[in-house]
Amino acid sequence: MRLKDKVALITGGAGGIGRETALLFAREGARVVIADVDDRSGKRLAGRIERAGGAAAYCRADVSRDGDCASMVAVAEAEFGALHVLFNNAGIMLAEDADAVATSEEVWDRTLAVNLKGVFLGCKHGIPALRRAGGGSVINTASFVALMGAATPQLAYTASKGGVVAMTRELAVIHARENIRVNALCPGPLRTELLMKVLDTARKQQRRLVHIPMGRFGEAREIARAALYLASDESSFVTGTEFVVDGGITAAYVTPEATRPR
């Protein structure tokens, strides 16, 4: 088992990428804390893991709130004795998110509060727990749009994910000698409820698919497998990266010059 004796905290753990990751981490031996605002789905998922012989706990947490982030880390240590893997995965994509002219301040503030501030607060409270455990892995969910922008305007979302990538790089450098690795996981377009609510017609979906060399949306379980690698000791020399799992979209549209350090 690749995560035997590890304790993992997954925000946004009740659905999509978080749900698939919680199930996979549990199968690989981790004790899992599922943090979410969807109490019903979170409790059901924790129960499913336990019935399958795993160990899981659900904790209600709005990651935009400092107190909730402190509480979810406290739950991990109280329930399972330590924290080794912090997966800052919770995120939102609002249908009203558009360009700079059309996006309201409310949509901007809410998006950055969850997608960017939520990662900051997760790290603020989670990194001290990783220190207490002797080190570990932080995985921050970003997006391919952080590297290349979006074909359809979604400015707040893109800006929030760009911030996650920048913050990840700095945290990786700061904590590299503490045995704490920090990586950004950058999925491409996925067939998840989050994206399908925005791409709610066949025309919108096709407009996005035309840009993906593999010609399909990714699946949440595929991103979970990438998270498993970053969580496990197999990635022991990997930190500060943008781990891209995108069906080839950035390879098709981002030139080497655009990503070369200046």
Residue pair 130/86 in contact (Cβ under 8 Å)? The answer is: yes
Residue pair 90/18 in contact (Cβ under 8 Å)? The answer is: yes
Reported for 51-57, long-range contacts at CB under 8 A and 24+ positions apart, including other chains, are: 52/26, 52/27, 54/26, 54/27, 55/26, 55/31, 55/80, 56/22, 56/26, 56/31, 56/32, 57/32, 57/33
**Which one of the listed residues 58, 157, 229, 253 is annotated catalytic?**
157
Residue pair 57/33 in contact (Cβ under 8 Å)? The answer is: yes
Residue pair 62/35 in contact (Cβ under 8 Å)? The answer is: no
End-to-end CA distance of the chain: 41
Any catalytic annotation for residue 157? yes
Active-site positions read 157
